[in-house]
Amino acid sequence: MAKEFGTLFLFLAGGFVLSLVIVFVNWLLRPRNPSSAKARTYECGLETEGPTWVQFKISYYLYALIFVVFDVEVVFLYPWASSFKSAGLVPFVEMAIFIGVLALGIWFAWKKGAFEWN
Amino acid sequence: MISIAFYLLTALLFSAALMVILSKNPMSSVLWMVVAFFAITGHYVLLNAQFLVVVNMVVYAGAIMVLFIYTVMLLNLSKDNDNRASLLVRLAGIVSGGLLLTVLIAALRRSTDAAVGDLAQVGATSLVGLVKPLGLALFRDFLVPFELSSALFLAALVGAVALGKKEASD
Amino acid sequence: MTEFLTTVFNLIQGILGVAPTTLALALPWMDIFWAFVYFVGAVILLIINVIMLIWIERRAAGFFQERVGPNRVGPFGLLQTVNDTIKLLGKEWIMPASADRMVFLIAPLLVVTVAVTMYGLLPYGPGITPVTLNVGILFFLAVSSTNTIAVLMAGWGSNNKYSLLGGMRTVAQIISYEIPMALSIIGIVMLSGSLDLGEIARSQSHVWYVFIQPVAFVIFTISALAELTKSPFDMTEAEQEFVAGYHTEYSGIRFTLFFMGEYANLFSMAALGVVLFFGGASGPWLPPWMWFIGKTYVFILFLLWIRWTFLRIRVDKMMKFNWKFLIPVALANLLVTGVGIKLWQHFVERSI
């Protein structure tokens, strides 16, 4: 296993170094004439007004919460799926209950209009 | 080799965790937290708990991180807004933090060096963290907790929707 | 491919001054050597892919829109991307004064890192998988989901309203469509009984899963387009709404890095589709890795065809489509697959 994760680490570190090399080559070749106009925030020629980091609407937060719940569920489904063929009928029923309870969750969120994006 | 990696990861984890607390900006706190999550993922790699590696990356570094960032975006971060917590909230924070510290110390006192060594031994050859044994354990030995967890998810979902809709209508 | 790599190995041994047959490196050094060979191979493949895919995309777009597309630099305009890359390498560094420096600078580097790592997980053929993991497919999804971190960092670090809005929306889109994608893959895992990508590809020696799981294939294709933020799901780049989305403030080489990541991911996502639904690297006559790359390019052309045919859909409709249609259908597909496998086991396999 050390071999697999070692290779993986090499890919991670190597990928980072690759991107650094690209940026470094650009650093060598680039022209250097900064001006304050270039460093302004881009907004179609107008001056930007007010702070950027403002309060966002709650829809995003709701989506993220529902996503977390489903993500955990989906991850749990994978070990089940990989031993599905060899296991008997009981795990199938167990998982059907598990999914059923979550489908109930979707149905509730649907009825409450949590999936409306407005 | 493994122990060097362990200490490096632990150092990274601790410094990232400290930066989470010390950063003035909530957004950089979240980003440091992601670094901490990846350090923990590294620890799971050392234990060869492959499924936990994936769960940690998908759920924590993926989903929880997004949730935290959206939570931060939900706060009003502009400077003129006074975000300091009230005395009561601070007191509650001190009490709960202190309780957590007590539990942690109590748990750590019981683990001896020998136990830690055993854990490192287990790590190299362990099959516990692989998917199939885990699937079997989930569906045979821990069936009731597993099914109960779906009820927990349902409760979380209903709570989130109810809260979100209430705030949206305000 | 293996013969080729062995030749390279022998060549390097020759350069090192060791006779090819007698060299017996200690095992960890051997592994490290192979890891480097795989890494260099993956990077070369990535760069060729990016150059080819950008050219293909532009030519294909030209074809679908009844115009010519780039045709001046080199034969059929093949060197256009090389030309653009060299141009972009000589561009100035521009960073908005109000940006969060570290976050702004690191985000594009992360995109390329993630793209390269994903190339390490693909099974290019028997014996040519850089990283074989017990949890392969899940790990692939986990790595690809870390892209959201880079998007959020870029959107937030730029300190630009368009970037922030674009980043937030992109992330909401990517995470939403991750769920139908993962659900569609579960059906395949149930059939193959393994999470290892190579194993999944091998288990299709009789019949490709696209014929057994057509619904899963449709769901996978739709969510792959959304994950890649390609049209009809390219809200991220909805110019009328927020200029260029999360990379509005990026120019020159940093923009190039985002672009590289995007096209590298197009290849690895299509390769995942080939592994899951089209039998991976199997095929007659040609060497397996050629089949793998060929099939992937055909699948990419299919994705580009969809991309240039459909119009962008509105953001609220896209979200509704995901939660109210794709996820319920994917769950139903799982149920049908489960019942189907159990019936098959009960009636067909038992009677044989």
Dihedral of CA C174/C179/C183/C184: which sign? negative
| pLDDT value, residue C19 | 47
In the predicted structure, residue C20 carries a pLDDT above the cut 50: no
> What is the ipTM for the molecules in this complex?
0.85
Q: Are B62 and C153 within 8 A, CB to CB?
A: no
In the predicted structure, residue C11 carries a pLDDT above the cut 70: no
Closest of A1, C93, C279 to residue B49, by C-alpha:
A1
Give the pLDDT band (50/70/90) at residue C8. low
For the stretch A65-112, pLDDT in tens is: 888 888 888 888 888 888 777 777 777 888 888 888 878 888 887 887
| pLDDT value, residue C237 | 67
- As for how many domains chain A has, the answer is 1
Is A116 inside any structural domain? no
Give the pLDDT band (50/70/90) at residue C22. very low
Distance from C-alpha of A110 to C-alpha of B129, rounded to nearest angstrom? 36
Give the pLDDT band (50/70/90) at residue B100. very high
In the predicted structure, residue B128 carries a pLDDT above the cut 80: no
Identify the three-state secondary structure at position A116.
Answer: coil
- Residues 6 or more apart whose CB falls under 8 angstroms from that of C16 comprise C23
Q: Is B92 on the interface with C (CB under 8 A)?
A: no
Q: Is residue C334 exposed (0-12), middle (13-18) or buried (19+ Cβ within 10 Å)? A: buried
Residue type, A85: K
Average pLDDT of the residues in C230-252 = 72
What class does CATH assign to B1-79?
A: mainly alpha
| pLDDT value, residue C27 | 63
Highest mean predicted confidence (pLDDT) among C15-19, C186-190, C238-242 = C186-190
| pLDDT value, residue C253 | 86
Range of the domain at A13: 2-111
Closest of B74, B65, B13 to residue A71, by C-alpha:
B65
For the stretch B5-19, pLDDT in tens is: 888 999 999 999 999
- Optimal mutation site among B32, B131, B157, B161, interface C, most CBs of chain C within 10 A: B131
Q: What residues in A contact C96, CB-CB < 8 Å? A: 39-42
Would you tell me how many other CB atoms lie within 10 Å of the CB of residue C352? 4
Q: Are B45 and A5 within 8 A, CB to CB?
A: yes
Q: Are A76 and B146 within 8 A, CB to CB?
A: yes
Average pLDDT of the residues in C241-270 = 84
Distance from C-alpha of C103 to C-alpha of C254, rounded to nearest angstrom? 13
| A28 vs B123, residue with greater confidence | A28
Domain boundary assignment for chain B: 1-79, 84-123, 130-170
* CB of C59 closer than 8 Å to CB of C70: yes
Give the pLDDT band (50/70/90) at residue C156. confident
User: Which residue in the set C116, C132, C160 is minimally distant from A11, CB to CB?
Assistant: C116
Token pair of C3 as six digits: 């013969």
C-alpha separations of C149 from B31, B38, C117, C158 in Å: 8, 12, 15, 14
Average pLDDT of the residues in B47-66 = 85
In the predicted structure, residue C30 carries a pLDDT above the cut 70: yes
- Optimal mutation site among B64, B69, B72, B157, interface A, most CBs of chain A within 10 A: B157
| B166 vs B56, residue with greater confidence | B56
- Read off φ and ψ for residue C230, nearest 5 degrees: -100, 155
Would you tell me how many other CB atoms lie within 10 Å of the CB of residue C79? 17
Mean pLDDT of chain C: 83
Distance from C-alpha of B8 to C-alpha of B2, rounded to nearest angstrom? 10
Mean pLDDT of chain B: 79
Distance from C-alpha of B146 to C-alpha of B141, rounded to nearest angstrom? 10
| pLDDT value, residue C23 | 46
In the predicted structure, residue C107 carries a pLDDT above the cut 70: yes
* CB of C224 closer than 8 Å to CB of C303: yes
In the predicted structure, residue A26 carries a pLDDT above the cut 60: yes
Q: CA gyration radius for chain B? A: 20
Share of chain B above pLDDT 70, in %: 78
Give the pLDDT band (50/70/90) at residue C26. low
In the predicted structure, residue B141 carries a pLDDT above the cut 90: no
Distance from C-alpha of A38 to C-alpha of B155, rounded to nearest angstrom? 51
Give the pLDDT band (50/70/90) at residue C115. very high
| C52 vs B80, residue with greater confidence | C52
Question: Helix crossing, A58-82 with B65-74: angle to 10°?
Answer: 170
Chain B touching partners, 3 or more CB pairs below 8 A:
A, C
Least confident of A23-27, C17-21, C139-143: C17-21
Token pair of A69 as six digits: 């719940």
Chain-centroid distance of CA C84 in Å reads 22
Token pair of C330 as six digits: 């994917």
Token pair of A118 as six digits: 């407005």
Distance from C-alpha of B141 to C-alpha of B138, rounded to nearest angstrom? 6
For the stretch B18-55, pLDDT in tens is: 998 888 778 888 889 999 999 999 888 888 778 888 88
DSSP code of C97? T
C-alpha separations of C21 from B79, C1, C6, C84, C295 in Å: 70, 20, 11, 45, 36
Q: Is C179 on the interface with B (CB under 8 A)?
A: no
Token look-up 């990379």 returns C247
* CB of A60 closer than 8 Å to CB of B70: yes
| pLDDT value, residue C298 | 93
Closest of B65, B81, A42 to residue C99, by C-alpha:
A42
Distance from C-alpha of B5 to C-alpha of C3, rounded to nearest angstrom? 35
Q: Is C133 on the interface with B (CB under 8 A)?
A: yes
Token look-up 């521009």 returns C94
| pLDDT value, residue C216 | 92
Q: Are C249 and A41 within 8 A, CB to CB?
A: yes
The alpha carbon of residue C273 is apart from the nearest alpha carbon of chain A, in Å, by 18
Share of chain C above pLDDT 90, in %: 16
C-alpha separations of B58 from B54, C53, C130, C133, C178 in Å: 6, 29, 22, 16, 10
Is A44 inside any structural domain? yes
| B59 vs B112, residue with greater confidence | B59
| C276 vs A116, residue with greater confidence | C276
| pLDDT value, residue A82 | 82
| pLDDT value, residue C272 | 92
Give the pLDDT band (50/70/90) at residue A21. very high
Closest of C251, B32, B36, C94 to residue A35, by C-alpha:
C94
* CB of B56 closer than 8 Å to CB of B40: yes
Average pLDDT of the residues in C71-92 = 83
* CB of C291 closer than 8 Å to CB of C283: yes
Average pLDDT of the residues in A53-63 = 73
Q: Are A85 and C194 within 8 A, CB to CB?
A: no
In the predicted structure, residue C204 carries a pLDDT above the cut 60: yes
- The nearest alpha carbon in chain A to C345 belongs to A85
Preceding amide of B145 cis, omega within 30: no
C-alpha separations of C80 from A26, B72, B130, C56, C74 in Å: 19, 43, 47, 11, 7
Terminal-residue alpha carbon distance, chain C: 39
User: Which residue in the set C156, C178, C315 is minimally distant from A117, CB to CB?
Assistant: C315
For the stretch C304-328, pLDDT in tens is: 888 888 877 877 788 888 888 888 8
Dihedral of CA C18/C23/C29/C32: which sign? positive
Is A118 inside any structural domain? no
SS3 content of chain C, % helix, strand, coil (to 5): 75, 0, 25
Chain A touching partners, 3 or more CB pairs below 8 A:
B, C
C-alpha separations of C213 from B163, C209, C330 in Å: 38, 6, 11
Share of chain C above pLDDT 70, in %: 89
Q: Are C142 and B69 within 8 A, CB to CB?
A: no
Question: DSSP H helical segments within C146-207, as ranges?
Answer: 147-157, 161-192, 197-202
Distance from C-alpha of C265 to C-alpha of C278, rounded to nearest angstrom? 19
Q: Are B53 and C171 within 8 A, CB to CB?
A: no
Residue type, A11: F
Q: Are B150 and A97 within 8 A, CB to CB?
A: yes
Give the pLDDT band (50/70/90) at residue B90. confident
Q: Are A99 and C331 within 8 A, CB to CB?
A: yes
Domain boundary assignment for chain C: 1-20+27-40, 91-340
Token pair of B17 as six digits: 């965790």
